[in-house]
Amino acid sequence: MNELHVDEELPADQRSWLRELDLAHFEPTSPGMPYWLPRGLAALRALQDHWRQAHERWGYQEVSTPPMARDPLYLASGHLPHYEENMFFCNAGDGGGRFGLKPVNCPGTMVIFSSRRRSHRELPLRLACYDLLYRNELSGVITGLLRVQAFRQDDAHIFLAQEQIRDEVVSLLRLAERVYAGFGLKFMLRLGGPPVRRIGDDATWGRAQALLAGALDVAVGRDGYDRVEGEGGFYGPKVDLLVEDSLHREWQLGTFQLDFEMPRRLGCAYIGADGQEHVPAVIHRALLGTFERFLGILLERTSGHLPAFMAPVQLRLVPVADRHHAWAQALRAAVRAEGFRVDLQESNERVAAQVRDAVLRRVPLIGVIGDREAADEAVSVRAADGTDLGVIRKEALLQMLRQRCQPPDV
């Protein structure tokens, strides 16, 4: 059971929810870079853990690459001449030159691919990377979690032969549909053509765009996506997955690009069935986009009622009097042992005030413990919307948490 609460009225801006729910802090010392507070980090990690497990089921392998690299790597990848204004740099020290903090994962992932001899039998090879990225944004576009300068993407690079492209793109869109539906979201598709500043010749771009459009035609039909000239990446045509936020602004969350150029420039190769060396195509893809932006969109759409599996606190225990604390503490330990996030307020506040605080903090389940509950080793449970879920014992409570805090099936 993983129902998403969507507020029908105009929700608050995600920056308000970050403050009210005590999730993250921003300040001028690190503009556009969130300071994650315990509750916010719990929600972010829950999303990341869920997505890691889903990627493993879908045949991805996780990798990690250094947080910075010298200019020659970004020169070879094309980022220096086409993306330099969006990068941060620092002095490379005694070795001379400079380091660029990585704005994207693709050059490093291609270094991993080319680090040893590869066979066609390994393809498609799906490498996921969730490292921290840095992009130098104009101050006027930084907006809470929706546009930041330090972030993580649900990033992956799929190395494949050209004859595998169509099936892989169709599979990607099926995966995207399941992912977005699990969060109550719908997306629109936009195919972007070659920008003015790009790498590669027109023939290569034309072939890549034809293959990508052909795969979209199979997956969603010719009327299932829009075409926009000039919106591709500098290395290949791309498909954007667009959603609307609570103010009906359009945001790109997911994206995938088909790239023939960068793998060639960075020396990626595999041995084909013919015994010859071939350059793989690469699909760059992120389905959620950045975890930060995705969390911001969810906060706005749900008025802070995140899916229960992501809730910073999934259960609040409220003992009525001091004599009920012993059972409340034992119950908290049992719930924690099952991996759920539970808090117990050591407070003299009245029960009504503690319950109200839990509701305002969007805690999905609230358990009140009085004389009857303590005597029966039980708890009186209500949902954040006020629904009375009855007096239940420990095992029934754990089963309720397992059902309600189950991530969406991907």
Which residues are marked as active site?
A: 106, 135, 153, 155, 157, 238, 284
**How far apart, in whole angstroms, are the C-alpha atoms of residue 194 and residue 208?**
10
Whether the ω angle into residue 319 lies within 30 degrees of 0, i.e. cis, is no
Sheet containing 315-319, strands listed edge to edge, beginning at the edge strand earlier in sequence: 342-344, 315-319, 365-369, 378-383, 388-393
DSSP string, 187-205: -EEEEE---SS-SS-HHHH
Q: Where are the beta strands (DSSP E) in 180-310?
A: 188-192, 226-228, 238-244, 250-259, 270-271, 277-278, 281-290
Single-letter code of the amino acid located at 239? V
Quickly count: other Cβ atoms within 10 Å of residue 246's Cβ.
19
CA 355 to the chain's CA centroid = 31
**How far apart, in whole angstroms, are the C-alpha atoms of residue 295 and residue 145?**
8
Q: Which two tokens stand for residue 60?
A: 């991805």
Alpha-carbon dihedral of residues 84, 90, 92, 94, nearest 10 degrees?
150
